[in-house]
Structure 1
C-alpha cells in the first residue's frame, strides 16, 4: 500500500511540474500561432508570447517555452523598443497554455 501511494504521488508531482505552452509563430496580422504545443523541459521555464509590428500590414508573433528572458519579466508583460520597434514580451506560468492570444490572464506592467 505504501509503495503504491509513493508511485501515485510521484506521478502527480511530475504532471504538476510540467508546464505546457503554445508553440509557433505568425507573420500575418490577425492570424494565430496555430495549434502546436510543447511541454516545457525545466521547472524554471515559463510560457511566453512576443509580438512586434512589421511594416503596417503585419505583426510578428512568437510563442513557446523560455526560462532565461522570463526570469527578468516574471509573470507579466513588458514592452521595450528594440532598434526602434516596440516589442511586447509576456511570460506566464500560472496555467497550461497561458500564452494564448493577447495573454489576457497576465497582468500588464509598465516599465
Structure 2
C-alpha cells in the first residue's frame, strides 16, 4: 500500500515538470508572393532537450510588393512571446510574429474572405 502511495506521489510531483515539453504538431510552410498559396506541410515539435516549451509560430510580413508568411515550430523565438502576437524584426524582416501552443496546428491559415464569399454565393445561386 505504501509503495502505491509513494509511486502516485512521485508521479504527481514529476509529471507537471515534463508536461510542458510534450510534443505539439504545427503547420510548416512558406509564402513569398501576394496571391500565392502558403505551401503547407506539418511537423512535430519538441522542446530542445526537453527543456522549456514547444510553440507553433506564424510570421507575416506585408509590403507593397510582396507578402511573406512563414510557419513552423520554435521554442527559441516564442519563449518570450508565448501565446500571443507581436510586431517584431525577424531575420531582417519587419512583421507580426504569432506564437501558440494551446492546441495542435494552432498556427493554421484562416479561410480567406474570397473563399467564404464564393461559398456563400454558390449557395445563394443554388436556391
Aligned counterparts of 1:24 and 1:94: Cα–Cα separation in 2 = 20
CA contact (8 A) 1:33 1:63 kept: no
Give unmatched runs, 5+ long, in structure 1: 1-12, 103-111
SS of residue in 1 equivalent to 2:40: coil
**1:81 deviation in Å?**
5.5
Aligned residues: 87
TM-score for both structures, normalised by structure 2: 0.58
Who is 2:10 aligned against? none
**1:18 deviation in Å?**
1.6
CA-based RMSD of the aligned residues comes to 2.7
CA contact (8 A) 2:24 2:55 kept: yes
Alignment partner of 1:60 is 2:68: yes
CA contact (8 A) 1:53 1:85 kept: no
Who is 1:77 aligned against? 85
CA distances 1:28-84 after superposition (whole Å, capped 9, x unpaired): 224342330000022611000001124x142000000000110111100001367x9
Distance 1:71 1:22, change over 3 A: same
Greater RCO structure (CA 8 Å; 6+ sep) = 1
Counting helix residues as a fraction of each chain, which structure ranks higher?
2
TM-score for both structures, normalised by structure 1: 0.66
Who is 1:94 aligned against? 102
- Structure whose CA Rg is larger: 2
